[in-house]
A and B are shown apart, each in its own frame.
Chain A
Amino acid sequence: MTFNSLSFAVFFGVVFCLYQLPVSWSVRKLILLAASYAFYAAWNPPFIALLLLSTVIDWVAARQIAASPTFTIRRLWLLCSLSTNLGLLGFFKYGNFALENIASLLALAGIGYVPSSLNILLPWGISFYTFQSMSYTIDVYRDEMKAWTSFTDVALFISFFPQLLAGPIMRAHDFLPQCLHSRTVSFRQIGWGLSLVTLGLFLKTVISDTLLAPVVDSVYAEAAPPGALSAWCAAFAFSGQLYCDFCGYSTCAIGLGLCLGFSLPDNFNCPIAARGITDFWQRWHITLSTWFRDYVYVPLGGSRHGLFRTMVNLFVTVVLCGLWHGAAWTFVMFGVVHGLLMVLEIVIRSTPFARIRVWKTWGGQLGLTLLTFTIVTLTAVLFRAQSMGQAVAMLKTMFGLSDTTPSTHLDTVDVSIVIAAVEVLFLSHLILRDTTIEAFAARSPRWARSLVLAGMMMAILFSGGADRAFIYFAF
């Protein structure tokens, strides 16, 4: 049951009506909690046990950390929380990957070891809710927030269905205070919330699934590399697809949260218009990058120990961030490349080259934006490819280094669709780069708002729905 499905529309309608019943706030929260578990169970019922396990452990651990007078006991409870969450994540997400690589290493050492496949099914959203759950106990351990007494509140924080499967990754200090008092929802708020849901669905079903994904799939499905133009088209199409898919989910989550009276944090800020890789990560999957900043980069020392240590810390953080996306060498490589690019950016910023006036001009800024988008698009090939071999072959084709006969040539229609969609995305990000969607919406004429929303609704209806799951569910 995903946001882009009729079953979700029915589900949300029922939950929304039940949530409006004139009952106590505690009961309304229980309704949301039950709905969240039902939402997760709709995919695979047994996996709600994992969600519950993570919740119970962290609720107990946080309370014990808060109640424990000694540092050792506090640390033990923190370890209990971390090992549970990272253990779940490690087993379900990285189990097979680790086993395969251990076997490869042993083979290099001349030891023949053929592990039987664990055949583990990855629970949807596990990377999101374990990170969210862990951050709560870490915050309590650091005395940055109090241990919450209400189990319902903590369980709702970890499982809140609008953001359960693919974020935004909430922090306890943002969400739990919202559980203290009954959330009132105005007609205006519902209107805006559903407008955001419409925008999110438009990004997901129309631009990502209908316009761009078929082009990407047709090129990457082939065993042999495509022609150079097709490879570039597919690369830019995937950049757009990934953004629209994930931002679409986040926008829907924020809108649905608003309809229920909850505020969720932003996850994207026009990343296609980023100027530099550091700027990109401040605009892309913001709640993940700030999570890594707060719980990995800063504890490693951040920028407090000189330029070299800063670069090492940054590199390690970004590589881990890449690995978070998936158990494959392509994701590790994605992290390594982004880490190196960020380090390179720090180096360049410290040279006189960075202070040339041209970078501050309109043309210079546009050039930096285009360069960043192109670099990110090239690294996204690692993200989409099914193996390192395919990624390398695709990149070689893009730069004319491939000597194999092209297998696929996109037709004019597909190329036109990709160019138009990516251009619109790029320009819209350029326009909205330094403003907010709320400010932009507030400035637009009333008739235009209704017309744009109606246009998006029609496009969603006519898209036909390809029934694609959101890409980030698999992370």
Chain B
Amino acid sequence: MHSSISPSEREVPDGQWGQTLLIAVLITCLVVGGAETIVRRQGYQPTVPDTRELWSFHRSRIYDDEGKSVVLLGASRMQTGFSPRVFRNRFHDYHLTQLAVSATSPLATLKDLANDDRFVGIVLCSLSPSALQEGVEGAHSQSRNVEHYREQRHTWNVEERLKLQFVNSHFAIARPQFRLRPLIRQFITGTEFAAPGFISKQLDRSQRLDFQKVDVEKQRARRVGGTIQFYEKYVPETPSREDWMATARALKPYIDRIKSRGGAVVLIRFPETGEHWRLSVSHFPKEEFWDQLSELTGAPTIHFKDVPGLAIFDCPDTSHLDYRDTDAFTNALLDECVRQKILPDHE
């Protein structure tokens, strides 16, 4: 498509092109607005892709001159079970950063924070005994996130941030399943839309699980099946306590380094129920493993079974809390942190 005129004389074709464009924008807004309304009525919610760029962005914001920085580490339980809103309401002078990554071990990030002399703050680290089992860290490490941050931190992608902040956080139709290619594929193959998911991911990297939107029985079976596979792959019937303790002891220098700068590390055992809990205690009896952790690492620990306020919650899939329980759970957890003098008593 070309114009026959020379560049210095490029003409605008006849017609009210300003008006034409405005009408087109109006039509687009109406259609997009309509589509957004329809998909929300179907139960779809905005969701923010949890990318390494987003993790790196949050990683770059953990610094606080007064040391009032709290970093959350762990895996999906920390992402779904801890309510940032509750924390901010109670500790509004603290800067909270969610660095937990679903289905990973947090040790690489813990070590990275320890080696970062600029970081002064409190680390709330969700940990399962199985995370210290030989082979787990290698296969489920957060090291790729750390590497990505180290490589990319000077060129934080503004584009990504704009998209996440203004598009993904606000529009349900920005979900991947409503993109053009999947839509065309669905049109050609005649398949139906996938049901609205029960996970909603936020810009602060927290996640909400709404178990009312999912078949809980199926979800539980899937979760338990995955956990059994995990144990079969990584954890022997009777794991070596000495090896486990050596791994735990190896964390002490890192935790000490954070403490030497005026910070703190707390190791937290999030709730598990049903088959998940049975598997865990059968392989890693609490008294033999978890209860030794504080002495081995030098970090205070919080186990949900030890705190009445934390032990009352049910995990619909045996491993994660429903979002309706997270406010109460977070309050109870923060109460325990205050009781152990990890966080100040603002009341």
> Which residues of chain A have a CB within 8 Å of any CB of chain B?
1, 5-7, 10, 170, 174-175, 177-178, 186-192, 194-195, 198, 206, 210-211, 214, 247, 251, 254, 258, 263-266, 268-270, 283, 286, 412-413, 416-417, 429, 432, 436-442, 446, 449-451, 453-454, 457-459, 461-465, 467
Contact with A along B158-174 (1 / 0, CB 8 A): 11001100110000011
In B295-346, the 8 Å CB interface with A consists of none
Binds A, one of B5-13, B129-137, B242-250: B5-13
A436 touches B184 (CB 8 A): no
- Assembled-state Cα–Cα distance A459/B35 (Å): 13
Across the interface, A191 reaches (CB within 8 A) one of B14, B16, B28, namely B16
Q: In the complex, A265 Cα to B3 Cα: how many Å?
A: 8
What residue in chain B is nearest A42 (Cβ atoms)?
B158
Task: Please report the C-alpha to C-alpha distance between residue A1 and residue B159 in the assembled complex, in whole angstroms.
Answer: 8
Residues of A within 8 A of B24 (CB): 198, 449-451, 453-454, 457
Q: In the assembly, what is the distance between CA of A307 and CA of B24, in Å?
A: 54
A263-B7, A463-B180 are known contacts. Are A442 and B32 too (CB-CB below 8 A)? no
Closest Cβ of chain B to A90, distance in Å, is 27
Chain A neighbourhood of B17, CB < 8 A:
188-192, 195
* Chain A CB within 8 A of B183 CB: yes
In contact, A214 and B162 (Cβ under 8 angstroms): no
Name the residue in A170, A258, A266, A417 with the highest tally of chain B Cβ atoms < 10 Å from its Cβ: A266
Residues B180 and A188 in contact, CB atoms below 8 Å apart: no
Measured between beta carbons, the chain B residues less than 8 angstroms from A194 are 21
Residues from chain A with a CB closer than 8 A to the CB of B212 are none
Distance between B39 CB and nearest chain A CB, rounded to angstroms? 12
- Contact of B179 with A463 in the complex, beta carbons under 8 Å: yes
Enumerate chain A residues within 8 angstroms of B277, measured Cβ to Cβ.
Answer: none
- Tell whether, in the assembled complex, residue B3 and residue A438 are in contact, meaning their CB atoms are under 8 Å apart: yes
Does B27 make an interface contact (CB < 8 A)?
yes
Given A210-B180, A413-B184, check contact A7 B162 (CB 8 Å): yes
Dominant secondary structure of chain A at its interface with chain B? helix
Q: A191-B18, A450-B27, A463-B180 are in contact. Are A413 and B189 (CB under 8 A)?
A: yes
B20 touches A195 (CB 8 A): yes
- In terms of DSSP, what is the predominant structure of the interface of chain B? helix
**B230: CB under 8 A from chain A?**
no
CB of A167 to closest CB in B, whole Å: 12
Tally B residues with Cβ within 8 Å of A: 47
List residues 1-47 of chain B with CB under 8 A from any CB of chain A: 1-25, 27-28, 31-32
Q: How far is the CB of A362 from chain B (nearest CB, A)?
A: 22
Q: Using Cβ atoms and an 8 Å threshold, which residues of chain B touch A10?
A: 162
23 A-B pairs with CB atoms under 8 Å apart are A6-B159, A6-B163, A6-B167, A191-B17, A192-B17, A198-B24, A206-B180, A210-B180, A251-B1, A263-B9, A264-B10, A265-B6, A266-B2, A268-B2, A270-B2, A283-B2, A417-B184, A436-B3, A438-B11, A441-B13, A451-B24, A454-B23, A458-B28
Q: From residue B33, how far is it (CB to closest CB) to chain A in Å? A: 12
Cβ-defined contact, A191 with B20, below 8 A:
yes
By a CB distance below 8 angstroms, the chain B residues around A463 are: 179-181
Query: CB distance A462 to B2 under 8 Å?
Result: no
Distance, CA A465 to CA B174, complexed state (A): 10
Closest to B16 in A: A188
How many Å lie between the Cα of A178 and that of B162 in the bound state? 35
Residues of A within 8 A of B159 (CB): 1, 5-7, 467
